[in-house]
């Protein structure tokens, strides 16, 4: 087993001969610390590269997690499907009553029923009796078309159609345009314990105002251990082992004019199929933990220009301790991705060793992404230039063609 050494703060760490030095800019990495899971140098979120040699064989604790029986995390956050989010009708009514111009028309019906589907549906063909493809658990929106159609039906027939509609799982009914609601609809809805709301908005405006709110509240979400910063408008999510310097890097970025979103614990939610949004927990309130100093208030120190409520996660910057036995990408062609909530995010592994200026590197990562958004692929363009220089004849032929 690798020998124990004493750190500058009196803690102990394991030093592997020939491996990376444990002190990086004054930080030491404890061999075991309360709440840190016994992290050791060379073992990162992804399990690190496989290592061999005397030091590897002599010290089982220096092996990758999969060699120790620890599962290898292939994605950040939770690997299991996120728990289904929900919002009660009472919460929706309180939160969006004014924005949606809502009025509750039914009395004596509980508002504790939950909405779990952010989609809104219009009954459409269901009012004509065809309910084979009826969307379950979707709030139903009655616009002018639906209400005028009900008026054309005989009272008994209209009641039968509504009863067939409410035989399905309908959490709530919203009548738009401030229209008058017939008693038959209120009675059938009350019999099915479905609350009916009236909105003063036109149907299109109601959809535009309500659906984004439900998508935000009901979005799949998870938590990631790391720090999120807005650098030149690019959301950089810094990950890596505890104590490697994520918070210090983000603090330096804030000092250079960039913005903090979340530190230590990032709440990540999915928007649509390919967008991840990150934010801080409400109790964090733009506070950071800096080892040796304690808790600092970024908003009070640097002002509101240094903070941002939420930001899209666009690149994962994975900080890892330098490993002499591992080959790191030096061209930009070998691109890695990490899955969070089913969304693939580019992941850059940045090896840490003395002399690394993480702040400038982070700014370069953000600016390089801005170039990529503009259609500039620097590695490919550089490789094409080298190929043309080494094969001038081929270049002439291509130009001629």
User: Catalytic amino acids?
Assistant: 225, 246, 264, 330
Q: Are 143 and 176 in contact (CB under 8 A)?
A: yes
Q: Where are the beta strands (DSSP E) in 119-264?
A: 140-142, 173-175, 196-199, 221-225, 227-231, 234-239, 259-262
Spatial distance between the Cα atoms of 268 and 223, rounded to a whole number of angstroms: 6
Q: Are 196 and 105 in contact (CB under 8 A)?
A: yes
Spatial distance between the Cα atoms of 108 and 191, rounded to a whole number of angstroms: 11
Residue 3 CA: distances (Å) to CA of 48, 50, 101, 241, 334: 21, 21, 69, 21, 36
Structure tokens, 61: 């604790």
Q: Are 240 and 228 in contact (CB under 8 A)?
A: no
H/E element holding 317? Answer: strand 315-321
Q: Are 252 and 358 in contact (CB under 8 A)?
A: yes
Spatial distance between the Cα atoms of 399 and 226, rounded to a whole number of angstroms: 49
Spatial distance between the Cα atoms of 236 and 228, rounded to a whole number of angstroms: 6
Q: Where are the beta strands (DSSP E) in 4-124?
A: 4-6, 12-14, 87-88, 102-104, 114-115
Q: Label the pairing between strands 4-6 and 12-14.
A: antiparallel
Q: Label the pairing between strands 310-312 and 294-297.
A: unpaired
**Which residues are CB-contacts of 344 (< 8 A; sequence separation ≥ 6)?**
337, 338
Cα torsion through 154, 156, 158, 164, rounded to 10: -150
Structure tokens, 12: 């102990």
Residue 70 CA: distances (Å) to CA of 15, 54, 73, 273, 312: 21, 22, 9, 31, 31
Structure tokens, 267: 């709440």
């Amino acid at each position: 087993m690798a020998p124990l050494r004493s750190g500058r703060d009196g803690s102990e760490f394991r030093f592997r001969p020939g491996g990376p030095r444990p002190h990086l800019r004054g930080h030491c990495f404890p061999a075991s610390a309360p709440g840190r899971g016994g992290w050791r140098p060379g073992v990162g979120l992804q399990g690190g590269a496989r290592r061999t040699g005397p030091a590897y064989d002599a010290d089982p604790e220096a092996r990758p997690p999969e060699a120790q029986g620890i599962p290898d995390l292939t994605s950040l956050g939770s690997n299991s499907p996120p728990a289904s989010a929900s919002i009660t009708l009472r919460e929706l009514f309180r939160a969006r009553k004014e924005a949606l111009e809502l009025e509750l028309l039914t009395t004596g019906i509980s508002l504790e029923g939950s909405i779990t589907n952010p989609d809104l549906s219009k009954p459409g063909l269901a009012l004509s009796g065809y309910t084979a493809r009826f969307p379950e658990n979707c709030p139903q929106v009655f616009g002018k078309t639906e209400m005028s159609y009900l008026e054309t039906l005989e009272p008994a027939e209209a009641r039968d159609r509504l009863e067939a509609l409410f035989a399905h799982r309908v959490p709530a009914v919203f009548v738009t345009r401030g229209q008058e609601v017939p008693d038959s609809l209120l009675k059938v809805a009350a019999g099915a314990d479905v609350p009916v709301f009236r909105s003063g908005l036109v149907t299109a405006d109601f959809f535009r105002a309500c659906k984004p709110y439900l998508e935000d509240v009901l979005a799949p979400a998870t938590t990631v251990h790391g720090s999120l910063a807005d650098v030149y408008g690019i959301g950089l999510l810094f990950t890596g082992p505890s104590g490697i310097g994520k918070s210090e890097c983000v603090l330096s970025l804030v000092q250079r004019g960039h913005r903090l979103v979340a530190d230590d614990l990032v709440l990540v939610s999915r928007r649509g199929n390919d967008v991840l949004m990150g934010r801080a927990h409400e109790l964090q309130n733009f506070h950071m933990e800096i080892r040796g100093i304690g808790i600092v208030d970024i908003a009070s120190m640097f002002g509101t220009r240094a903070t941002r409520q939420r930001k899209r996660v666009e690149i994962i910057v994975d900080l890892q301790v330098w490993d002499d036995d591992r080959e790191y990408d030096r061209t930009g062609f070998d691109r890695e991705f990490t899955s969070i909530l089913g969304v693939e995010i580019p992941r850059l592994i940045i090896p840490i060793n003395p002399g690394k200026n993480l702040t400038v590197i982070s700014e370069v990562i953000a600016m390089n992404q801005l170039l990529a958004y503009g259609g500039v692929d620097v590695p490919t363009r550089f490789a094409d230039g080298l190929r043309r220089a080494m094969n001038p004849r081929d270049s002439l032929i291509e130009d001629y063609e």
